[in-house]
Amino acid sequence: MIRRFGRLSITSDFKNGKWDDEAIFNGGVELSLFATLRETTKNFVENPKISNLILYMTVVLMVVIFTELAISNFIGPKHSVGWYFFYVVNYFLLLFFITEIVIKFFGYGFTYFMELINVIDAGIVITSFVFHVMEVETKSIGLLRVLRLIKVISGMKKVVDEKRER
């Protein structure tokens, strides 16, 4: 498929006017479509604008969580307007972070989970999402989401380290 989109250049593997399909099947001389997509995804995630967006969305999640905890007495009972507002906002923020994890996992492969902070972050996000969808209400769930501050702090540390290197 890559050769049809012009990604595989004509090289010595192009023998007698025919493609060496066996060489291409075994990895060829260039990247496969999957490897190209993975590399493109990795470059997308490493884009400073995307990294900043993820960092800002984490801060937004923290603000929403702290606001929800601070005004929990005024929100109203379950299934009231205030409750639905925070339910929907949390739902979309958690979907955003699950999408982030899936995209990063695709881009980096299993090496994404080599860092302990990513394992903890993914565990917190997935657990929070499952409990949120199941409408399980406990104080420890709020604590799990607040623990995402670790991610914010590590992200800020990376930004500071990158600026020092320049």
pLDDT of residue 154: 67
Name the stretches of the chain with pLDDT < 70: 1-32, 139, 141-142, 145-146, 148-152, 154-156, 158-163, 165-166
Structural domains in the chain plus CATH codes: 3-30 (no CATH), 38-165 (1.20.120)
Per the DSSP assignment, residues forming a β-bridge with 15 are: 18
> In the numeric block, which tokens belong to residue 116?
């302990």
pLDDT of residue 89: 92
Q: How many CB atoms lie within 10 A of CB 121?
A: 21
* Rounded Cα–Cα distance for residues 159 and 52 (Å): 9
Q: What pTM value is reported for the model?
A: 0.71
78-100 pLDDT, tens digit each: 778 888 898 899 899 989 999 99
Name the CA radius of gyration of the chain, rounded. 22
Q: How many CB atoms lie within 10 A of CB 148?
A: 20
**Amino acid residing at 52:** N
pLDDT of residue 1: 46
